[in-house]
Amino acid sequence: MRLLFAAIISVLIVWKTQSQEKITIQAEDGLLITADLYEIDAQKPYILLFHQAGFSRGEYKETTQKIIKFGYNCLAVDLRSGGEVNYIQNHTALLAVQKGYSTDYLSSEKDILASIKWAKERSKKPVVLFGSSFSASLCLLIAKDNPDVKAVVAFSPGEFFSDQFLLKEKLSDFKKPVFVASSKRENPFIVDMLGSVPSSSKTIFTPENGQGEHGSKSLWKSNPNNNEYWLALTMFFSKIK
């Protein structure tokens, strides 16, 4: 029995190692972007996962193995604006500071665009952008007119660039499938911000039981309402296949 248990553990460890690979992608301005690749089949489309402010690709350390079950490869990306979470340091942000690159929110757009290009070249299929907080707003901004983006999952987007423009004004005639989730407190702002997005394109979700969480932390086990979010997200992906 002990030998059988040891064998099972060995298989799980090997599987985990094979399913996750750290890679680097070069942005248009030359910065090297660090990302974790979870690939089930290079021919399948990709979900590109982006973190919230002050975080890293570690935001998806717990949740990627469930997200990948939607039938997509996953790429969890360190954006140049960020820090450490779940004991995983943001290597892109560290390098950006060392090399003197701008690390404001909007500068991370370059990292998202580079990730889209990498994934499209690899699978030849359009991607799903999956953002959290400020990166959710960037995903919406980028996806609208980008032919290489199929759909968007946006957890707690907001007006993070109001000193330069309002996202609400950029989203008129947004016609791609979009799933937007938030806490109860954030929901009125989300509804207003996406007011011009056609109802046929958008799914807006907020939990019924409890307050919910900000960003993709909504999916973490530490959030008592995580099952509600997972169910809504699963239903969305079943519609866009």
CATH number at residue 145: 3.40.50.1820
Return the pLDDT at 20. Answer: 87
Residue 1 located in a structural domain:
no
- Whether residue 27 lies inside any domain: the answer is yes
Residue 113 in any domain: the answer is yes
In the predicted structure, residue 50 carries a pLDDT above the cut 90:
yes
Percent of the chain with pLDDT over 90: 89
Residues written for the chain: 241
* Whole-number Cα distances in Å, 150 to 96, 144, 153, 222: 29, 10, 11, 30
> How remote is the C-alpha of 68 from its chain's centroid?
12
Start-to-end CA span in the chain (Å): 42
What value does the mean pLDDT take over residues 67-71?
Answer: 96
pLDDT of 19 reads: 67
For residue range 189-235, list pLDDT tens digits in order. Answer: 999 999 999 999 999 999 999 899 999 999 999 999 999 999 999 99
Residues 180, 185, 190, CA angle at the centre, nearest 5°?
35
Per DSSP, 180 falls in state E
More confident residue, 34 or 12: 34
* Residue 14 counted as domain residue: no
Domain annotation covers residue 135:
yes
pLDDT (0 to 100) of residue 238: 96
User: What confidence score (pLDDT) does residue 46 get?
Assistant: 98
Q: 18-22, 30-34, 165-169, 175-179 — which is least confidently predicted? A: 18-22
Q: Is residue 214 part of a domain?
A: yes
pLDDT score of 8 more than 70: no
Q: How far apart are CA 160 and CA 168, in angstroms?
A: 11
The confidence score (pLDDT) of residue 201 equals 93
In a domain, 180, yes or no: yes
Task: Give the global pTM.
Answer: 0.91
Range of the domain at 171: 19-240
Cα atoms in the Cβ-side hemisphere of radius 13 Å centred on 32: 9
Q: What total of structural domains would you count in the chain?
A: 1
Binned at pLDDT 50, 70 and 90, residue 38 comes out as very high
The answer to whether position 128 is within a domain reads yes
